[in-house]
Chains A and B, each alone.
Chain A
Amino acid sequence: MFLLADNVWLDALLRMAIVAVLVPVGVILLTWVERKVIGRLQQRLGPMHVGPYGLLQGIADTIKLITKEDVRPDSADRPTFELAVFVIVVPVFMAAVAVPFTSDIFVRNMALGLFYFLAVSSLGIVGFVMAGWGSDNKYALLGGVRAGAQLISYEIPLILSAVAVAMLGQSLSLYTLVQLQDDTPFIAYQPLAFVIFIIAGLAELYRQPFDIPVAESEVVGGPTVEYSGIRWSMFQMSEFVSLVLISALASLLFLGGWTWPFGADNATWLQVCLMVAKTSAFILFFMWMRVTVPRLRIDQLMALCWQILLPFAFLQIIINGLVLVYDWPSWTLTILSGAAAIAMGTVLHQVARRSGVLYQTTGASQRVGSVL
């Protein structure tokens, strides 16, 4: 690891500064990308007026949000209300510290990087509950409670699927895990864990179809309802940074990060290209899901987590344990995990069919209503 400055503390400060500058710029760009992509997926153009192809839209929005009046309800609990946004944003930035983007571009390479990332990123839940409670607004409170329920529940399958990968790599260091995938990415050995990680990650990002805590049509924005201007933009920023981080983590854990398919020691520019390609593939997939799938009901959401994802996450860990303890060849892992993934898909399909309403059409009858 090279140092940006002679002094260790100065070096740390510089790296933090890079994160603190790059992340908001990335978020500004990403809001534009998201609106463009969603526009195209809905046969629209997206923003077009500010700058060429609306490129400066994010900057215009930022200026607007910064200069907007910061309104706080008179009856709000002031310290809780005002601190909540920081409790949401700071853990996200702290998590960004642990993510290695290439083999030598990162802030800190931690031996327990995966553990640190998962531990820190789950702190944001407290912020949502604080925002919900502090706003003194029934919708905010409902949203806060929903956020608490959803994010804590989906934390478990997310962590368990990450643990499955850590078992396979025998390490909690993201750097080591990625270096191990130089010829075969872990998705080949852990398809079930990958599927669970993507679903749970989507829920952790509280994006559609899992946007129950912040659903516009149900709780008018949930915990964010009383926030405006720069405080609201912090919610937005944390959402987009988490989107990047979960996508980066998915590409590190399952797609081999900067190594696969070009081996462990390729040039830095190639590593950057690989990481950018893999991460943006996940980001685009999440945006694609967002425009495609309608929102789940809260009971469907909880059932999906506790009754389907959690047992199958344990199943993946048990499979990994068996293969590792009895030293079976690695292709058994692929077969067992793939079979389990197909089983999970079948179970989901059956559950969705049964929970749907029986719908009589001319001739054959079919069930519609649920997409679980």
Chain B
Amino acid sequence: MLGILKALKTTLQAAARKPVTVQYPKEKKELPHRSRGFPVLLWDFDKDEPFCTGCQVCARACPVDCITVTMKDNPKKAAGKSKRKKIVEHFYLDYARCMRCDICVEVCNFDAIVMNNTWEGVELSTYDRQDLVLDKDALLKQSRTGELKDPFREPMGVAHSGWSPKEEEEEKAEETEASKEGDEG
């Protein structure tokens, strides 16, 4: 009997709280910074070209073989506008195959590929599977237009060396102090 009264109080308190529902397609929860959507390529705004050189390391490392890359000579190198000798020619990534393992990001030597941490990285409904095979332009689009504001970039060797951002900051502080001392000396 008293249990029922207690339970009635509990449900009434629940009614007084704000509902937890998010009206999903209209409003979206903020994704965590490390949210791992499908991989996308990054755009180098300084040189106005992709970071990717088409080296195929990601294609070789990919466990499900969903990446196809080809390389070409960089025309901007000839014109003297860029240091990159080689640049990506074609880049195809099959989102239908990709299992979001993050290995391509880990192996990339140029930090040219990241896991998409926006909602576009997970909302991929299409009517045709073929639409899930994205080419270079489609993969670069989000970075190039600035939609991908703050991609999560794994610091070098985080999985192996026990690196943490705090330590790096400390190191930097030490370095600056050392350089200051050097200046004084």
Contact = CB atoms under 8 A, between A and B. Distances in A.
A345 B23 CA distance: 43
A39 B19 contact: yes
B8 A292 contact: yes
B12 A45 contact: no
A44 interface: yes
A48 B23 CA distance: 9
B28 to A, nearest CB: 15
Interface residues of A, number: 18
A293 B10 CA distance: 11
A330 interface: no
A269 B10 CA distance: 36
Contacts of B17: 43
A45 B19 contact: yes
B2 A349 contact: yes
A243 B11 CA distance: 21
Contact of A43 (B3, B8, B14, B23): B14
B4 interface: yes
B21 A292 contact: no
Interface string B76-91: 0000000000000000
A44 B8 contact: no
Interface in B1-47: 1-4, 7-8, 10-12, 14-15, 17-21, 23
Given A292-B10, A292-B11, A45 B21 contact: yes
Contacts of A293: 4, 7
B20 A288 contact: no
Contacts of A348: 1
Contacts of A352: 1, 3
A39 B8 CA distance: 15
B42 to A, nearest CB: 38
Contact of A288 (B1, B8, B21, B23): B8
A259 to B, nearest CB: 29
Contact of B11 (A44, A48, A288, A345): A288
Q: Which residue among A39, A292, A293, A345 has the maximum number of chain B CB atoms within 10 Å of its CB?
A: A292
Interface size class of B (residues with CB under 8 A): 10 to 19
B6 to A, nearest CB: 10
Contacts of B21: 44-45, 48
Given A45-B21, A48-B23, A345-B1, A292 B15 contact: no
B77 to A, nearest CB: 55
B3 to A, nearest CB: 5
A370 to B, nearest CB: 9
Contacts of B10: 292
A316 B120 CA distance: 68
B17 to A, nearest CB: 6
Given A345-B1, A349-B2, A371-B4, A41 B11 contact: yes
Contact of A44 (B1, B4, B20): B20
Contact of A291 (B1, B2, B11, B23): B11
A291 B3 CA distance: 14
A293 B2 CA distance: 12
Contacts of A43: 14-15, 17-20
Interface string A276-302: 000000000000110111000000000
A369 to B, nearest CB: 10
A268 interface: no
A95 to B, nearest CB: 29
Interface in A337-360: 345, 348-349, 352
A41 B8 CA distance: 10
Interface string A308-345: 00000000000000000000000000000000000001
Nearest to A290: B11
Interface string A35-49: 000011111110010
24 contacts: A39-B19, A40-B19, A41-B11, A41-B14, A43-B15, A43-B18, A43-B19, A44-B19, A44-B20, A45-B23, A48-B21, A48-B23, A288-B8, A288-B11, A291-B11, A292-B8, A292-B10, A292-B11, A293-B4, A348-B1, A352-B3, A371-B3, A371-B4, A371-B7
Given A43-B20, A288-B8, A293-B4, 18 more contacts: A39-B19, A40-B15, A41-B11, A41-B12, A41-B15, A42-B11, A43-B15, A43-B17, A44-B20, A44-B21, A45-B19, A48-B21, A288-B11, A292-B4, A292-B7, A345-B1, A352-B3, A371-B3
